[in-house]
Amino acid sequence: MSKNAMNMTKGIALGMITGATVGYMSNRIMSKNPRSIKRRTNDIMNSVSQIMSDISYMLK
């Protein structure tokens, strides 16, 4: 039981560290040129949305 709890604790800690690192790096990138990043992110989100829509249509 303690082995499972230790593995879960390690996973939570790793997730928190990863989240903090991604947040820090994205904040640094956004501070350089936020307009182009936001535009590119919006384009990517629209593409992913279209792909998901196409996949759901094919599965019907």
Cβ 37 vs Cβ 30: under 8 Å: yes
Q: What is the pLDDT of residue 15?
A: 87
C-alpha 7/C-alpha 20 separation (Å) is: 20
Which pLDDT does position 30 carry in this prediction? Answer: 73
- Report the percentage of the chain scoring pLDDT > 70: 97
CA distance 45 to 41: 6
At 5, the pLDDT band (50, 70, 90 cuts) reads confident
Residues 6+ apart with CB under 8 A from 30: 37
Q: What SS3 state is found at 33?
A: coil
Q: What per-residue confidence (pLDDT) applies to 1?
A: 59
